[in-house]
Amino acid sequence: MLKTTQVETGSVAAGQADGQEENDGTRPRPQRLRLAPVVLAGGAGTRLWPLSREHYPKQLIDLVGTDSLLQATLRRLSGFNARREVVPEAIIACGEEHRFSTAEQLAKAGVEARLVVEPARRNTAPALTMAAWLAQGRGEDVILVVMPADHAILDGAAFHHAIALAAEHAERGAMVTLGVPPTRHETGYGYIRLGEALGDGAHGIARFVEKPALELAAQYVQSGQYWWNSGIFVVRATVWLQALQALQPAIYEACMAAVIGGKLQPPYFRPDCKSFLQCPSDSIDYAVMERLDQPDAPCRGVVVPLTAGWSDLGSWEAVWDATEKDVDGNAARGRVMFEGASASYAYSDGRLVACVGTSNIVVVETADAVLVADRSHVQDVKSLVERIKAQRAPEAEDHRKVRRPWGFYDSIDHGERFQVKRIVVAPGAQLSLQLHHHRAEHWVVVSGTARVTRGDESFLLAENQSAYIPLGVAHRLENPGKLPLEIIEIQSGGYLGEDDIVRMDDNYGRCG
């Protein structure tokens, strides 16, 4: 059924690609196109290390407010139906390594969505292309509202106003981006030079400008002719596909093949891996938006103003700027105390962080790393993370507490030939059936009930009972109860890396 839907999608894209619909005046005009939220959630956010890690990036973290950035993004169009109907099921593009955490956050937020799991990172243009094919799978053209998963917007009503204006231009066939009138000289953002005024606050796009040096950024802000590029796009699915086919045929063909050959495993949609890996990597801006000023461009580019307290939260400086501050300009989250400090930001992931007499600094505490940085140098955190990766240190990729589809584990202690973990398994969940070539394990139940598979044996363990798993023996841990299962695992052996896992059976599709 899925492939049939995709074939119908292709015929719609071909038949309505010009973005126009004939009407001889004798029949009523069709209803306005619905909005389809598309959330791009494939980034890593290394500038927000040590809180954001490769396997748990910033969109999954509650940096501002009580929701994670991903959850806040998915709720952003809530209440918009009074202006224009919104498709109830959002489409989220994410990586294989983040799919379980993303699905978990959707469940907690009570949000209906379909996850497009990308086999590899190919930037935003391929992600949007697959979303466009899937969004119009019922033969219905829709207006895609494309939002990065890791931005903050403080004024929801102002955001709705900007989207409503953008949707009007998009329905008429334009490719629309939201531009933010700058409030300061910012070198970390791209800029859009405004073209002709369109009479409703929107402008044509004269050109896109890369991240400028400070002096040039100051000139842009003073001129009033440049807006920040927010990375939020509004475009009809058929218009995007037609533009991509004309401007980037290799991306178009690879993504079409990946969708047609893909598999639906609710809530996941898995593109065909071989086809997707052949897709060039490119961003929405580079692939299409920056080419719309060409004479033979298939559609026009429009920029709509967004004055809604937007931030891409691309650095700790941006997080400080988006966070409520005390009378001395300090901002904090978690267990933090300031004494004689000013214009500082502190984040505690558990322990008390005390800042005394500090000025213009950032302090971020996690269980396994602490960052202390001058606010004027926070962009250098990305370079620091590259050095950590080069040393093959684990702090670049994972937190001490690592989330898994069955629960999580926390690496409590480790040393020469041993490691101790606290493992929590959700009710009804189970780990994969696996073995290790280089380590043995000893499990002690702290609370709950465990079902243990060890070779040909299967038995239950209650609190304070334990089991030994010899090296090379197939085993599995399962929680058959209705309460979380907590155990202490003691590993011993010559090599204790996570890649010493041979999976033979897994409920979460991780085998092989």
Residue found by looking up tokens 């300009």 in the block: 329
How far apart, in whole angstroms, are the C-alpha atoms of residue 102 and residue 98?
A: 6
Any idea how long the chain is?
A: 512
What are φ and ψ of residue 230, in 5° steps? -80, -20
Is the CB of residue 158 less than 8 Å from the CB of residue 306?
yes
Domain definitions of the chain by residue range: 2-20+32-311, 316-389, 401-505
Q: Which superfamily does 2-20+32-311 belong to?
A: Spore Coat Polysaccharide Biosynthesis Protein SpsA; Chain A (3.90.550.10)
| Average pLDDT per 10 consecutive residues for the chain, totaling 512 residues | 31 35 44 91 85 91 90 89 84 90 87 90 94 86 95 94 96 95 87 93 92 88 92 96 94 95 90 94 92 83 95 92 95 97 96 97 96 94 94 89 91 92 96 95 97 96 96 96 97 90 85 52
Task: Give the ranges where 89-123 is alpha helix by DSSP (H).
Answer: 99-109
How far apart, in whole angstroms, are the C-alpha atoms of residue 509 and residue 155?
A: 40
pLDDT at 136: 83
**pTM score, two decimals?**
0.85
H-helix or E-strand spanning residue 273? helix 273-277
pLDDT at 25: 43
Q: At what angle do helices 237-247 and 249-260 cross, to 10 degrees?
A: 130
Positive/negative CA dihedral, 151, 153, 157, 163? negative
Q: What angle do CA 163, 164, 169 make, to 5 degrees?
A: 90
Q: Which superfamily does 401-505 belong to?
A: Jelly Rolls (2.60.120.10)
Positive/negative CA dihedral, 159, 161, 166, 168? positive
pLDDT at 3: 32
How far apart, in whole angstroms, are the C-alpha atoms of residue 80 and residue 156?
A: 10
How far apart, in whole angstroms, are the C-alpha atoms of residue 357 and residue 370?
A: 19
**Structure token digits, residue 261:** 């050959």
